[in-house]
Structure 1
């Protein structure tokens, strides 16, 4: 790919210490190609620079094969910009005349960002062929550290986020609101969520150009642009890029909590393929009729699963949706194709799997959680059943303590006030669960840790955890004598791959370390006191 001043070349895309770098240099690159007449042509530019994209659509056409790779998804990246006014960075999408810019026209010295939606394929009565919906933002000193950018593109809106905070929303549906003040009427179109649209509402406005985005896949691109003579050391640093899509296919289960021997029907829908089925060992397949599966459970009190697989998230969209330059809602978009508009699409022929869990018979062993802490500052702690698991809707819970403690039952949770004699020992308890298929009893235990205030050793405090930009840590004295820095433990910080990223003296001083340039992941601080090895993790 080229422009009037630079060439995008493979050798300017590098990886160092787990970070992908898009680099820039003034090396007068050349590129030779054969034109449409079969004549070799050579072009020379002043600069080489790096760019990455999922599929090159700049020179593409209007067939599905020449469009981008994605339609409807959440696109997220963690990256850092060059601190320069002479180059800009961009995270954008293009395909078949549609363009979405998460950001462009970036000024690395003052945080100027422009987010845009372009449509290069319109046919307007006044002859205009390009529409842009752009907004400018001042989002702070973005070149100082890594930031997480996100574009969430759904069938009814697009949102832009920086470090988890939405800074722009572009809606498909709008409602006209008219206000009157001293006989002065004002009209405003207010964006709507799907849930905000009342059933049967007829006064809803829809953005005329939305169908263009609903039917044409686009390409993911990250790169730089040259605004002035660059310094030569500018680069875009990318820690990771993540693309998440909802599967088009859906599976429904007639009963997620059947008793043993009761037949269950599972159906795969919203797919133009015949799904491949797999089931867990405690389910027996009775019949398969294309995308309808019938099974029966054969092991009481167990958790089973069914899984449907198709190849690719790429339901074929009618070719008529992109067969001409420009769109007209009167003739380009066949109403018969509208049901296809709301599906995610990608160009990867990879297995797409959906799994559903099924509880067979009486309750299975539950996932239990607690908030126990040393020293019981709240006087006790809670134990509860995690509700993000398959549970019969009418399950009854009965809690009882085996160890010395008082309990207060609250349906699927219980408050425990243990005897202090249990410190540094296990609190043991029993949970009985009952549903329509029977009862199950589970003996469980939770370790009651020794109160750290009584420890002979200082405690390493790390905050915040997970860390944002600055890592703070300190040895906190309990009844331990202060360690002088010259005699303090030696610390080592390692990544989850074992790479040593920091060494130093620990002491009992507060450490503040800038980790903005570190790759995301899990880390561990290790140190020794009196020959004993200790470690604490953070992410």
Structure 2
């Protein structure tokens, strides 16, 4: 509960930045050590927006939203046709209306006369399904990430990823205004009479904000924006890099100076502690917010429109002990013709399980609501096409209106047919299993004698040594067997060796001052018939002399060549052949 002790500060950072701290008694119920698990994910792979999760906001037909329609700012409407799913992306667009729309409504400013407003543009807005803006909200705490591309300034379009509800507003990212290319985050609080303890949230509210701009490099590329919201702080990150941390509790000394923010670990568990709480956290710690993605017109006086914000996926993670677990001896596999029982672990009550779903290569045999279990068997297709599958439980979740979806990945059937890539030189061949799985064991068998080989990387690679190198291609055959608890899959493949380039250029005497004899080793008459030339080059690869090759030993006069290190060089069948270095001295 709040005490009657208050510290306040006012300062200006762009807009008025209102800092107020309430001293209160707080009992820490403990730090949540459970891992973050994905409870919701949408990659917009369906052909239309999934309205079980998302609601496009619109305010162009009665009942009109008085805030957005009657206010002269922002000067545009939100219409569902500006939020579409296409090519695996959510597209939030801005468009210019074919003809302006006019509305009569009550002026939000006193004396609240009836006014007429005209709108020339429409924009896209999508939010979670809990209700209209200002409703209770969908989420309370968690880690919320989107991968999105913000529209650039030249498109006259503002893109935003933000939260709003009874916990007021928290902006994760939008392009800072006016013309700049940085990311702005903000916490908005709407209260009346904030000097009262606690503040009054009724009647006409006073608005406070805590904006901040950060340079994140190219804000107009696809980036991953994340809000982590805990009972003690919110953290905003871009591509995994923390950009802003806003704490709830602080320690303040006797002179009124903040010494440091308090993390959960700084507060003793299960006993009252006196702390200073920032006013920005009023409503944030015990209310809900909706996740919102939207675009707007930057300058309604500008005639251009047509920008869009692209969203690749949305992911919600929350700390939970819930897991889907198999009861069998091989809980990560389910074999052809077998039935396996799965349950939700982590102290989850069976009656909180809302339902089960499985991947297309699995089938649900039965469910037991009293025990909270599901019995699953492979579908018929697994016999011919084994592969990865999953089992998902939907659990009632008071902190997420979309429920709590916990997925377990399993393998259905025998191992998939191994896919092997080959890299060859004339000295060795390297085989690599492209679809390697650590859940399988692999056995390589050489079916051709005369070659040494070595298996490494837990069976992922086979290294075959070609010794001595061959001048003619040779054939090699091998068998690869992949095994898991459901059985084995094998392949037999053949391949050929690469012939080695065995040409050599020997130069003697070394050192020399007058004559350099060049011996062409392993060259054939067919090689000589290619109009070969040998070149004398220096250490910087400058050509000093050349001569046609007519026999397997040629002679070069080097008496007029400067002293130093030199080489003999030629090209045969498109391959470069170079001698060892030799010295010319006078």
The TM-score normalised by the length of structure 2 is 0.49
- Given the alignment of the two structures, is residue 233 of structure 1 paired with residue 295 of structure 2, yes or no? no
What is the alpha-carbon distance in structure 2 between the residues aligned to residue 54 and residue 279 of structure 1? 27
1:340-355 alignment to 2 at 5 Å?
343-346=399-402, 354-355=407-408
What is the alpha-carbon distance in structure 1 between the residues aligned to residue 269 and residue 428 of structure 2? 52
Q: 1:245 to 1:167 in 2, by over 3 A?
A: closer
Computing the radius of gyration over CA atoms, which structure comes out larger, 1 or 2? 2
What is the alpha-carbon distance in structure 2 between the residues aligned to residue 344 and residue 77 of structure 1? 22
Report SS of the residue matched to 2:284.
helix
1:449-528 alignment to 2 at 5 Å?
none
1:249-398 alignment to 2 at 5 Å?
250-255=323-328, 257=330, 265-268=341-344, 269=348, 272-276=352-356, 288-293=368-373, 307-308=391-392, 310=394, 315=397, 317=398, 343-346=399-402, 354-357=407-410, 364-365=414-415, 368=418, 372-373=422-423, 375=425, 380-383=430-433, 386-387=436-437, 391=439, 398=443
Q: 1:94 to 1:171 in 2, by over 3 A?
A: same
- Given the alignment of the two structures, is residue 408 of structure 1 paired with residue 455 of structure 2, yes or no? yes
Q: 1:279 to 1:60 in 2, by over 3 A?
A: closer
Report SS of the residue matched to 2:289.
coil
User: What's the counterpart of residue 481 of structure 2?
Assistant: 431
- Given the alignment of the two structures, is residue 101 of structure 1 paired with residue 171 of structure 2, yes or no? yes
Selected match of 2:223 from 148, 152, 156: 148
How much does 1:267 deviate?
1.7
What is the alpha-carbon distance in structure 2 between the residues aligned to residue 42 and residue 204 of structure 1? 51
User: What's the counterpart of residue 127 of structure 2?
Assistant: 54
Q: 1:108 to 1:12 in 2, by over 3 A?
A: farther
CA RMSD of aligned residues (A): 5.9
Conserved? CA contact 2:182–2:213, under 8 Å: yes
How much does 1:242 deviate?
2.5
User: What's the counterpart of residue 136 of structure 1?
Assistant: 213
Selected match of 1:92 from 148, 162, 173: 162
Selected match of 1:212 from 263, 284, 294: 284
How much does 1:257 deviate?
0.7
Q: 1:12 to 1:384 in 2, by over 3 A?
A: closer
- Given the alignment of the two structures, is residue 399 of structure 1 paired with residue 444 of structure 2, yes or no? yes
- Given the alignment of the two structures, is residue 168 of structure 1 paired with residue 248 of structure 2, yes or no? no
CA shift digits 1:464-491 (9 cap, x unpaired)? xxxxxxxxxxxxxxxxxxxxxxxxxxxx
What is the alpha-carbon distance in structure 2 between the residues aligned to residue 198 and residue 384 of structure 1? 50
- Given the alignment of the two structures, is residue 417 of structure 1 paired with residue 464 of structure 2, yes or no? yes
Q: 1:11 to 1:432 in 2, by over 3 A?
A: closer
What is the alpha-carbon distance in structure 2 between the residues aligned to residue 366 and residue 219 of structure 1? 40
Conserved? CA contact 1:406–1:418, under 8 Å: yes
CA shift digits 1:29-71 (9 cap, x unpaired)? 41246999xx995521465342423269997555x4xx45897
CA shift digits 1:255-291 (9 cap, x unpaired)? 4616999996522346724434769999996883534
The TM-score normalised by the length of structure 1 is 0.52
What is the alpha-carbon distance in structure 1 between the residues aligned to residue 330 and residue 102 of structure 2? 66
What is the alpha-carbon distance in structure 1 between the residues aligned to residue 262 and residue 480 of structure 2? 54
How much does 1:135 deviate?
1.9
1:117-128 alignment to 2 at 5 Å?
117-120=187-190, 125=195
What is the alpha-carbon distance in structure 1 between the residues aligned to residue 123 and residue 325 of structure 2? 46
Q: 1:81 to 1:294 in 2, by over 3 A?
A: closer
What is the alpha-carbon distance in structure 2 between the residues aligned to residue 359 and residue 275 of structure 1? 21
- Given the alignment of the two structures, is residue 113 of structure 1 paired with residue 113 of structure 2, yes or no? no
Conserved? CA contact 1:112–1:138, under 8 Å: yes
Report SS of the residue matched to 1:346.
coil
What is the alpha-carbon distance in structure 1 between the residues aligned to residue 359 and residue 130 of structure 2? 41
Conserved? CA contact 1:283–1:296, under 8 Å: yes
How much does 1:159 deviate?
4.9
Conserved? CA contact 1:70–1:345, under 8 Å: no
What is the alpha-carbon distance in structure 2 between the residues aligned to residue 352 and residue 220 of structure 1? 20
What is the alpha-carbon distance in structure 2 between the residues aligned to residue 405 and residue 263 of structure 1? 44
Conserved? CA contact 2:99–2:120, under 8 Å: yes
What is the alpha-carbon distance in structure 2 between the residues aligned to residue 31 and residue 344 of structure 1? 36
How much does 1:115 deviate?
0.9
How much does 1:233 deviate?
1.3
Q: Which runs of 5+ in 1 are unaligned?
A: 179-184, 318-342, 455-539
